[in-house]
Homo-oligomer: A and B are copies of this chain.
Amino acid sequence: MLLALAAILAAAKLGGHLAVRIGQPAVLGELVAGVVLGNLDLAGVGWFRSLTGDPSIGVLAQLGVLILLFEVGLESTVREMMKVGASAAAVAVLGVVTPFALGWGVGALVLPQHSPYAHAFLGATLTATSVGITARVLKDLGKTRLAEARIIIGAAVIDDVLGLVILAVVAGVIEAAASGAALSYAATALVVGKAAVFLVGALAFGVALSPRVFATAARLRGSGVLLATALVLCFLLAWVASAVGLAPIVGAYAAGLILEDVHWKDFTSRGERSVGELVEPVGAFLVPVFFVLMGMRVELATFARPGVLAFALLLTLAAIAGKQACALGVWGRGVDRLSVGLGMIPRGEVGLIFASIGLGLTLHGERIVDASMYSAVVIMVIVTTLVTPPALKWSLERRARPRLRDGAVS
């Protein structure tokens, strides 16, 4: 485990270095370093592939992505988030409806022999946005405070809720069809209700309570109290989020949003570092573990089957095109719509979770999602993940350049 951790960190920094050298975000290098390590089994070195199932590395990676979203959340406030709320909601809805329709269409076109349930499931795998990659690219480029960043991440949070609903409905419809019973509207409503209560409750309670929590914490003796208090809040909200069925990163992001610099003025006024500065080294250690592991989970061998590959390419195009509809949901001026659309592209682990749930569903003894459909979904996830860092960097800098030429340096 220790050797693995050392190898992963070293690979992350070397990969990050090479990516930055060719003008790409460091995260792309970490992902590619992971892809290389994970696929060394093709060259006879299977050790790294075996690490993808190691629970210890998995735990550190999961903490890494929590810390990342917490850090990104720290750079915005609930108030700033509210300002882009309407845009984020519109972006989220468009970013769920269009890919769902396109995914269904691709399924119906390429796999006419499968049931419409399978097509609907394929559409569902295209809906959820995995925000880790985009959050990291924005962080690598120092753009987390842009309105675009808040819209993308806000929309991804709402997507997570909508994805839950779609999954509950699609899985519910299939199970109802399989058992001949009616779809349980109450169960579906419960899923939505719990998620909504969490989001509203966490933000409202958090804003009201967190100043008091930190004021109390500031009276505690001993070192490391500020960092511990912030992490306790982050882990608690992540746990509550997962308890209501949302992704834990949604809770971590909410915790980051709630916290504001003013909360720890008691600490910083006596010379301690702020939460952002304290969390940064923790993230520098754990976040790369997540991205290298994500790269290591890519099995290049999946790309070798030509029939699957063509289907996967169509699915990927549907996934990318579907999220570009998000651009239409952005309200107000001065916001780069293309960047929002590109930022919504990555499907990451969320698409895989959907697909693996599909692998477990059967209708009249037949699996809803078969192995080749699953492979195609995996390829779609890989491509959308790897394509986002360079595309988003290009789009954000394309926007920055003319501004500089006009002399309007913000």
Q: Which residues of A contact B (CB under 8 A)?
A: 1-3, 5-6, 9-10, 12-14, 16-17, 19-21, 26, 29, 55-56, 59-60, 66, 140, 217, 220-225, 227-229, 231-232, 235-236, 238-239, 242, 248, 278-285, 288
- The answer to whether A228 touches B59, judged by C-beta atoms less than 8 angstroms apart, is no
Q: Give the complex CA separation of A281 and B222 in angstroms.
A: 14
A247: shortest Cβ distance to chain B, in Å?
12
* 6 cross-chain CB contacts under 8 A: A2-B235, A2-B248, A10-B232, A16-B221, A224-B288, A282-B285
**A248 contacts which chain B residues (CB < 8 A)?**
2
Which residue of B2, B12, B238 is within 8 Å of A228 (Cβ)?
B12
A1 smallest CB distance to B (angstroms): 7
Measured CB to CB, the closest approach of chain B to A202, in angstroms, equals: 14
Chain B residues lying within 8 Å of A283, measured Cβ to Cβ, are 224
* Nearest B residue (CB) for A222: B16
On whether the beta carbons of A228 and B3 are closer than 8 Å, the reply is no
Q: Which residues of B contact A26 (CB under 8 A)?
A: 221-223
Shortest distance in angstroms between A292's beta carbon and chain B's nearest beta carbon? 11
Q: Which of B16, B20, B217, B281 contacts A227 (CB 8 A)?
A: B281
The verdict on A235 contacting B281 (CB below 8 Å), with A10-B228, A60-B59 known, is: no
The reply to whether A20 and B232 form a contact with Cβ atoms under 8 Å apart is no
Measured between beta carbons, the chain B residues less than 8 angstroms from A9 are 228, 231-232, 235
Least Cβ–Cβ distance between A56 and chain B, in angstroms? 4
B225 close to A13 (CB less than 8 A): yes
Interchain nearest-CB distance for A13 vs B (Å) = 5
Check B228–A285 contact: CB distance below 8 A.
yes
